[in-house]
Amino acid sequence: MNVTRNRFNRIRVIESICADVWRGGSDISQQRRIGSMSRARSRLSAIEGACRACGRRCTSVALTACPDCGGVIGAVRDVGREVGRGLFASPQMLFQNNYVWFVLVSALDVMLTWIVLLLDGVEANPIADAVLQYGGLPGMVAFKFALVLLVVVLCEWTGRRNLHTGWKLSEWAVAITTIPVTVAFVQLLVTA
C-alpha cells in the first residue's frame, strides 16, 4: 500500500510539473530539466536515477536536479533490466547508439586501410602491421573487431559504475576512431 502511494505521489508531482511546462511556464531552466512529457513519464518506471553530470545515484526519480551539482537526473531503469531468458539473460547495453557509430567507423577504418594498402601505402600502427603481415585481411578484421569488443566491454563496465564516465568513454572511442578514417580518406583524395 505504501509503495503504491509513493508511486502515485511521484506520478502526480511529475504530471504537475509537466503540465506547468506545457502551459508555457516562465521558468526556462525547469523546461530544460523536464524536457518533454514522454521523457518525464518514462522516469516513472525507474527505480532509481543518476545525475548525468556527476553520476550520483538518487533513489527518488521525482527529483529533477542533482542535490550535489544541480545536474539533470536521468532514469537508469535499463541498468538492471534483463534481456533474454535463462542462460542467455544479460543486462541491456547502456550506450547502444554510440556503439553503432563505433562499429561503423571501425568498419570504415578496416576498409579504408585495406584500400590504402592496395595502393602501396603502409600501416602506421606497428601492432596492426604485424597482425596484417601474419594474418592478412582476415587477421586484420579479427584484430580490429576484437579491439571493438574490448572497448565496448570497457564502456559497459565503466558505465555501470559511473554513468557519465562510461558515456564519455564511449564518445571518445568514436572520436578517436574517426582519426585514422579521416587520415586514410585524405590520403585517398590526395593520391587520386
Q: Indicate the residue among 77, 98, 129 that finishes a domain.
A: 77
**More confident site: 24 or 58:** 58
Q: State the average pLDDT over residues 153-169.
A: 92
Q: What is the pLDDT of residue 78?
A: 45
- Judge whether 151 lies within some domain: yes
Q: Indicate the residue among 77, 110, 144 that finishes a domain.
A: 77
Check whether residue 96 and residue 169 sit in a common domain. yes
Q: What is the pLDDT of residue 38?
A: 45
Residue from 115, 98, 65 nearest 178 by CA: 98
Check whether residue 73 and residue 91 sit in a common domain. no
For 23-92, where are the alpha helices, taking DSSP H only?
Answer: 28-34, 37-42
**More confident site: 27 or 58:** 58
- Judge whether 82 lies within some domain: no
Q: Quick check: 154 pLDDT over 60?
A: yes
Check whether residue 92 and residue 178 sit in a common domain. yes
**Distance (Å, rounded) from C-alpha 105 to C-alpha 168?**
17
Check whether residue 99 and residue 31 sit in a common domain. no
Check whether residue 17 and residue 62 sit in a common domain. yes
- Judge whether 34 lies within some domain: yes
Check whether residue 69 and residue 150 sit in a common domain. no
Residues of the domain holding 33? 2-77
Instruction: Record the cell numbers describing residue 151, joined without a space.
Output: 572497448
Number of domains within the chain: 2
Question: Could you tell me if 74 and 82 are in contact, meaning their C-beta atoms sit under 8 angstroms apart?
Answer: no
Check whether residue 105 and residue 144 sit in a common domain. yes
Check whether residue 147 and residue 174 sit in a common domain. yes
Most confident range (mean pLDDT) of 23-32, 41-50, 53-62, 93-102 is: 93-102
- pLDDT bin (cut points 50, 70, 90) of residue 168 is very high
Q: Indicate the residue among 77, 108, 125 that finishes a domain.
A: 77
**Range name among 19-28, 80-89, 141-150, 162-171 with the lowest pLDDT average:** 19-28
Q: What is the pLDDT of residue 120?
A: 86
- Judge whether 117 lies within some domain: yes
Check whether residue 55 and residue 97 sit in a common domain. no
- pLDDT bin (cut points 50, 70, 90) of residue 86 is low
- pLDDT bin (cut points 50, 70, 90) of residue 68 is confident
- Judge whether 134 lies within some domain: yes
Residue from 173, 175, 176, 181 nearest 108 by CA: 181
**Distance (Å, rounded) from C-alpha 49 to C-alpha 99?**
22
Q: Which helix (H) or strand (E) holds 168?
A: helix 163-191
